[in-house]
Chains A and B, each alone.
Chain A
Amino acid sequence: MTKYVIRRLLIAIPSLLGISLILFTVLALAPGDPFEELATNPNVPMEVRENLRKQFGLDDPVMVRYVRWFKSMVKGDWGFSFASRVDVDKLILQRVPVTLFVIGSSQIIALLIAIPIGVFAATRPYSIFDQVANTFAFIGFSLPTFFTGLLFILLFSIKLDWLPFVYRADISETGFAWWWTHFKQSIMPIMVLALFQAASWTRYVRSAVLDVVRLDYVTTARAKGLNERSVIVKHALRNALIPVVTLVALQMPAIFGGAIVTEQIFRVPGIGSLLISAILANDTPVIMAVTFVFACLVILFNLLADVLYGWLDPRISYR
């Protein structure tokens, strides 16, 4: 298992390199100068700009620039935000925990919804329950997150006035009241993401369980006289989850995309909303760093999925 994890780690490095290469190419191909902001600023004299260009090595050959850029990216030396006059790494480190909290809890809730419904539907294929679940799944992943978010605000904040629609990082209450306010403001952003993911995963779980339930070893387990519950949970589900883990990992980029949208709707102070505000403010260092962080997070979660995959299916880690 350790060997397997190390091998996975080594495989993650080329993909990190590849992603950084794509990012850098996009940046290098882009018209305009990253120092345009300084160039149009009359307070910055010509010599300072030339010195900055030299200091950042903007006139060096492409390969040299890439290596230096990649080194500084990996070291977390992401420069200085034009808009908020803070170091970019500080800005991002403040924001990452919020994003991870929202994404993490929404994924857990999504799995808690998807696995029971998917298994229940798969054990009774083409029943009424299955058809209703399937219809809801279709509706769920056809509803774009931005529209679900607006519908939630319309229903729970405006019509019913139950939940606040702005996520606040600075809650003044303390103790239990803090938890309660925090819980209330987290419900909508988390549920928007969770319902969207749960909808597509329900279908994955259903079809995976359906594939496994017909196999001989499940029949054997039933023939041994095990009760249906342990046949499904211990024998069928564990094997059915293997392909589901892969699909969940493949969905990771889409999940982060959804997180950007929800953070923007509910003004959650995560890196997604940071990205949008940076784009609107033409804050290039922040934009580059956030995109890079997103790429790293996707790779990290893919890695976690791979490890989980090895744990669920020992055949993989011994190969």
Chain B
Amino acid sequence: MAGSIPASATVDALAGGAPSRPQARWGTEAWRRFRRHKLALFGTIILGLIIFGVLVGPWLWKVPINDIDFNARLAGPSLAHPFGTDDLGQDLFARMLYGGRISIAVGLAAMVIAILFGVVIGAVAGISSGKVDAALMWLTDLFLSLPQLPLLLLIIYLFRDSLKNIVGPEMGVFILIVIVIGGFRWMPVARLVRAQFLSLREKEFVEAARALGASPFRLVARHLVPNSLGPVIVAGTIDVAAAIIAESTLSFLGLGFPPDIPTWGRILFDAKDYLDVAPHWALFPGTLIFLTVLSINYLGDGLRDALDPRKVM
């Protein structure tokens, strides 16, 4: 977190010792602010439970995800199948635990890509002024006005088969979806980082570091980036939710993961034609997506209160 990283060794030296106390206080201050946001705490707990469930669940709930049982077709929730079964009699609870891993992994991986892209582009734009900055910001605005879902669909349609041949169907689709979703979500981060850089680079501690002979790279890596991470962490949290929704949307449209990988969106896609006879089939994965996204959004809101005190909504 931003608070736990010292602003810079030089500034601490200039301040005449007492290096860690203000930082430690800042961290507890952030935690105190976060704790005050009850719903954010609640969201974090729910999210923790969901992540714990999908990580540990498949070891505890040992029903195979593709065990076909025509005697239990479209059965509602019961002790044998807590979330009921689908049209082939496959246990939905096991499928959802397995699919949840993929949905959440896609969300996290896409967020990492979006943040990497965003920080690099924002940092380059923020540190260089003039033409490079203008060009990069034009690119950012351009990407912001792209129709994302149609393009996502187009790219997946065009590249899916060839990637499948290279790295196999599961990994291929995973890589493609993560890169494409991440590649369309870096723009807000880039803008945030650039704005932070523009204000930070005029600050005294940066000037001091520059006067002490820090190279531009060191300035960026040690002083500017760590100090602009607060809003980036908030944006990254929200990005996880957006990426999970994007992946579920693709799978829901039948254009994401193949049928044998039951992500939550894919289960919904299969369930939507059986709404009248087996509503549980759609309700459970939909509710899980909703709960995950809601918890992440509340977590992001709490982090905003904690890390970005200027922008409390």
Contacts and interface: CB of A to CB of B under 8 A. Distances in A.
B253 interface: yes
B279 interface: yes
Given A26-B151, A142-B241, A280-B254, A19 B249 contact: no
A253 B146 contact: yes
A19 B301 CA distance: 33
A143 B294 CA distance: 8
A31 B265 CA distance: 27
A252 interface: yes
Interface of B: 39, 138-139, 141-142, 144-151, 153-155, 157-159, 161-162, 241, 245, 248-249, 252-255, 265, 268, 272, 275-276, 279, 282-283, 286, 289-290, 293-294, 297-298, 301, 313
A302 B161 CA distance: 35
10 contacts: A26-B155, A144-B290, A154-B279, A206-B313, A207-B313, A253-B148, A254-B148, A287-B157, A291-B154, A298-B147
B241 A153 contact: no
B148 A276 contact: no
A188 interface: no
Given A143-B290, A150-B268, A279-B157, A158 B276 contact: yes
Interface stretch (A46-54, A84-92, A259-267): A259-267
A261 B157 CA distance: 17
Contacts, number: 137
B252 A298 contact: no
A30 B158 contact: yes
B151 A265 contact: no
A294 B255 CA distance: 19
A144 B298 CA distance: 16
A168 to B, nearest CB: 18
A175 interface: no
Query: Which 3 A-B residue pairings sit nearest by Cβ, starting from the closest?
Result: A257-B149, A30-B158, A294-B147
B249 A203 contact: no
A146 B268 contact: yes
A133 interface: no
A144 B161 CA distance: 28
Contacts of A180: none
B290 A138 contact: no
Contacts of A275: 150, 153
If over half of B's interface residues share one DSSP class (helix, strand or loop), that class is named, otherwise mixed; here it is: helix
Interface string A139-181: 1011111110011011000100000000000000000000000
A27 B158 contact: yes
Interface of A: 14-15, 18-19, 22-23, 26-27, 30-32, 135, 138-139, 141-147, 150-151, 153-154, 158, 203, 206-207, 250, 252-254, 256-257, 260-261, 264-265, 275-276, 279-280, 282, 287-288, 290-291, 294-295, 297-299, 302
Contacts of B286: 144, 147, 150-151
Contacts of A147: 268, 286, 289-290
B80 to A, nearest CB: 25
A257 B147 contact: yes
A206 B313 CA distance: 9
Given A27-B158, A31-B159, A291 B294 contact: no
B189 to A, nearest CB: 14
Contacts of B283: 154
Which DSSP category, helix, strand, loop or mixed, fits chain A's interface?
helix
A144 B313 contact: no
B253 A295 contact: no
A298 B146 contact: yes
Contact of B154 (A15, A26, A146): A26
A70 to B, nearest CB: 16
Interface-centre pick from B139, B162, B293 (highest chain A CB count, 10 A): B293
Nearest to B298: A138
A22 B142 CA distance: 10
Given A26-B154, A280-B254, A298 B290 contact: no
B293 A257 contact: no
A253 B245 CA distance: 15
Contacts of B252: 146, 261
Contact of B162 (A32, A276, A288): A32
A279 B148 contact: no
A133 to B, nearest CB: 13
B147 A295 contact: yes
Given A154-B275, A279-B255, A291-B150, A146 B249 contact: yes
Contacts of B248: 144, 146
Nearest to A278: B157
A264 B275 CA distance: 15
B150 A144 contact: no
A250 B162 CA distance: 33
Contacts of A299: 145
Nearest to A34: B158
Contacts of B161: 31-32
Contacts of A265: 272
A22 B149 contact: no
A158 B145 CA distance: 38
Given A138-B294, A144-B248, A15 B150 contact: no
